[in-house]
Amino acid sequence: MSTYPNVQETIDVIKKLVSIPSPTGFTANVIQFAEDYLQKLNVETKRNRKGGLIATLPGTNNDEHRMLTAHVDTLGAMVKEVKSNGRLRLDLIGGFRYNSIEGEYCEIHTSSGKVYTGTILMRQTSVHVYKDAGKAERNQENMEVRIDAEVTNAEDIRALGIEVGDFVSFDPRVQTTENGFIKSRHLDDKASVGILLQLIKRLKEEKVQLPYTTHFLISNNEEIGYGGNSNIPPETVEYLAVDMGAMGDGQSTDEYTVSICVKDASGPYHYGLRKRLVELAEKNDIEYKLDIYPYYGSDASAAIKSGHDIVHGLIGPGIDSSHAFERTHEKSLINTEKLVYHYVLSDMISY
């Protein structure tokens, strides 16, 4: 049996995922990547009408099912206005702040398929011109996209095929370090998508028989709140979101362990499933932290809100500076992948 997890393989998959632009609403290419990956493993997949991908591995028990989910949609933006000064005004997709994208390289994806590069800047960037360059508020009014093209007015922009409603994606700037860090935009939640893809690969290659039929939903609307609230088979008993652990002041989550969420903005997660995840971690020498995420909602909480009668949980690698300049460590990826592996092989809880 090969060493598992192979963290370098997982990181390689994550690097490919974050490099595919996929703001919510513009996820066809990254879903295709995941589908191609799974079909090469002869895994049964199907698309839902929202554009997400569902993979299913049969289990010994086909009366009670499990579902795991991770999401490929990311933060991004849309063109809100084609400005008379030859620049673009943005409308944000997802929950983040304008200051987190100031100075970021971006791509504008036109409806015809052409892609243009640009930079997201304050209108008052030059300190040689604007006295209030450092004090002006970072907001929709003051921030704009400088397009890498010879454009000086709205007509020039429209001649390129750029129009209101075009998607804008952010350069992930993915890097890995010799001491095990991976830093990139969109680790939320492509780090966990990479983990699930690698998990499925191992289960298929080693012909592991799962105790329960298990579905893996690669969702594509999580950042706007409803990626995983549908297409849940009625046989599903346990539903585990594999997303990210949020770090910051007062948080116990770090970049080296798997974070097990006990409560987020939607309320507590299922106590019995939480205890089972802790039990599996301790039994298998998996480093973990319990935590509460005060301003967070997951696909699992969306499923509960939509009325599904399920046992719900949430885990993930610890991500520093979430929805901004994200980073995690290979130790966190390893611990998360191990916990998910042991979870899918475990007995269901008594509920």
**C-alpha to C-alpha distance for 204 and 202, rounded to whole angstroms:** 5
The single-letter code of the amino acid at 150 is E
pLDDT value of residue 20:
98
Average pLDDT over residues 187-193: 98
CB 169 within 8 A of CB 184: no
Cα dihedral sign, 70-192-200-312? negative
CB 272 within 8 A of CB 351: yes
Locate 247 and state its tokens: 């770090």
Burial of 219 (0-12, 13-18, 19+ CB in 10 A): buried
Which parts of 256-306 fold into alpha helices (H)? 271-283, 299-305
pLDDT digits (tens, 9 = 90+) for 51-109: 999 999 999 999 999 999 999 999 999 999 999 999 999 999 999 999 999 999 999 99
Average pLDDT over residues 326-350: 97
Average pLDDT over residues 176-182: 98
Residue 2 scores a pLDDT above 90: no
Work out the percent of the chain whose per-residue pLDDT is above 70.
Answer: 99
pLDDT value of residue 147:
98
pLDDT value of residue 3:
65
Contacts of 348 by beta carbon, 8 Å cutoff, 6+ apart:
64, 66, 212, 237, 238
Residue 4 scores a pLDDT above 80: no
pLDDT value of residue 166:
98
- List residues with catalytic annotation: 222
Angle at 331 between CA 326 and CA 335, to 5 degrees: 105
pLDDT digits (tens, 9 = 90+) for 126-170: 888 888 878 889 999 999 999 999 999 999 999 999 999 999 999
Average pLDDT over residues 103-116: 97
Give the 3-state secondary structure percentages of the chain, helix then strand then coil, rounded to 5.
Answer: 25, 30, 40
Average pLDDT over residues 19-34: 98
Residue 157: name the closest of 165, 147, 166 by CA: 147
**C-alpha to C-alpha distance for 262 and 227, rounded to whole angstroms:** 21
What strands, in cross-sheet order, belong to the sheet with 175-176?
Answer: 175-176, 181-183, 327-329
Q: What's the mean per-residue pLDDT of the chain? A: 96
Residue 27 scores a pLDDT above 60: yes
Residue 44 scores a pLDDT above 80: yes
pLDDT digits (tens, 9 = 90+) for 233-285: 999 999 999 999 999 999 999 999 999 999 999 999 999 999 999 999 999 99
**Residue found under tokens 């450092």:** 134
**Residue found under tokens 């935590």:** 291
- pLDDT category, 227, cuts 50, 70, 90? confident
pLDDT value of residue 1:
40
